[in-house]
Structure 1
């Protein structure tokens, strides 16, 4: 089974369990997560978010909209258009 297949078969309950394990730093049985396990769980949660949840529910999402609905600041991940001016 590939990593992508594993993520596609992840259930919302599994996703929530992995998020909780990351937050608490331990598995439901109380055993502490190793650094490697924490990194793998984080990658799985992020991958699940990207494919199954709306952008607003992704881990680390920052809502940049103002109360009037306009964008506050720029999205640092959005590509910028550069204009080259010749004199």
Structure 2
């Protein structure tokens, strides 16, 4: 199959099914992926992501083919983790008080 044919045939739903199969090692019907199928599926996922992934997750291929790394702050925001407020009170001592 040519690359353009593959990309035209792969809908977001097909991409998700392939992604899930690669993650769990099984096709939706329960059949195990062979190593060759896993490799081909991963390549297809990366090609699809490099073309259409405009909102790349951490450590995934973004549109344009670049690997997307998110900062710690971006990941916390994505997962809804709020930073605790900085304490208002700081203990201060003069040098002779220590």
Trace 1:12-31 onto structure 2 (pairs within 5 A): 12-31=12-31
1:21–1:28: 8 Å Cα contact kept in structure 2? yes
Map of 1:73 onto structure 2: none
Question: Which stretches of structure 1, 4 residues or more, deviate above 6 A after TM superposition?
Answer: none
Question: TM (normalized to structure 1)?
Answer: 0.65
The Cα RMSD (Å) is: 2.2
Q: Describe the superposition over 1:20-47 as per-residue Cα deviations: whole angstroms up to 9, x where unpaired.
A: 0000001111111011000000000111
C-alpha deviation, 1:9, in angstroms:
2.5
Over alpha carbons, which structure has the higher Rg? 2
Q: What is the alpha-carbon distance in structure 2 between the residues aligned to residue 8 and residue 49 of structure 1?
A: 13
* Aligned residue pairs, count: 67
Match 1:61 to one of 62, 68, 71: 68
Structure (1 or 2) with the greater strand fraction:
2
TM-score, scaled to structure 2: 0.58
Provide the rounded CA distance (Å) in 2 between the counterparts of 1:51 and 1:8. Answer: 11
Unaligned runs of 5+ in 1: 68-87
Tell me, yes or no, if the aligned pair for 1:8 and 1:48 is still in contact at 8 Å: no
1:66 CA displacement: 5.5
